[in-house]
Amino acid sequence: EDNWVWVSLGNLYQFVNDFDRAIQAYEKSLEMFEYDLTSTLSLASIYQNHVVDLEKAEMYYKKAIDINEDSADLYDRLAKFYYQKVKDVDAAEAIYLKGLEKTNNHPDLINDIIHFYGWVKKPEEQKKFIKIILELYPENTKFQKEFGHLLEEK
């Protein structure tokens, strides 16, 4: 038996907002293949947004990172979860910093932490990472246009 049958069922149930059955399908998928990222992230999302259980959501986001610790996107998801849902700025910041270390300063994650520091009103930290991204990617005009003016503000 293939776990993708269960993933597909979970997707279908999630699409029609039958979250209890979606959870059952995704959990069955994980019984068959515990490292399935699709099921893991789907469960995190369901527990974050629909059948609210923030402890389970956190557990699944952390499991997703354990499955693929090189993914900048997974660190961003967990950090945003901490910041937006749990309202824990320190935990969000710690995840961003851990993600930067694990992904060797992935540009998407540097971009994410720059925005995060803007949201939490930490301009000095924001400027530190703006300098880093501009030094690492001087040829990227998008970064210069988006962030260059923030270095000039006092």
Can you state the percent helix, strand and coil of the chain, rounding each to 5? Answer: 80, 0, 20
**Residue 2: predicted pLDDT:** 84
pLDDT in tens, 118-148: 999 999 999 999 999 999 999 999 999 999 8
In angstroms, the CA 51 to CA 118 distance is: 30
In angstroms, the CA 105 to CA 107 distance is: 6
The answer to whether 147 and 134 have CB atoms below 8 angstroms apart is yes
The answer to whether 99 and 116 have CB atoms below 8 angstroms apart is no
pLDDT in tens, 71-122: 999 999 999 999 999 999 999 999 999 999 999 999 999 999 999 999 999 9
Q: Which two tokens stand for residue 45?
A: 């999302």
Q: From the CB of residue 18, how many other CB atoms can be counted at a distance below 10 Å?
A: 14
Nearest by Cα to 11 from 45, 33, 37, 39: 39
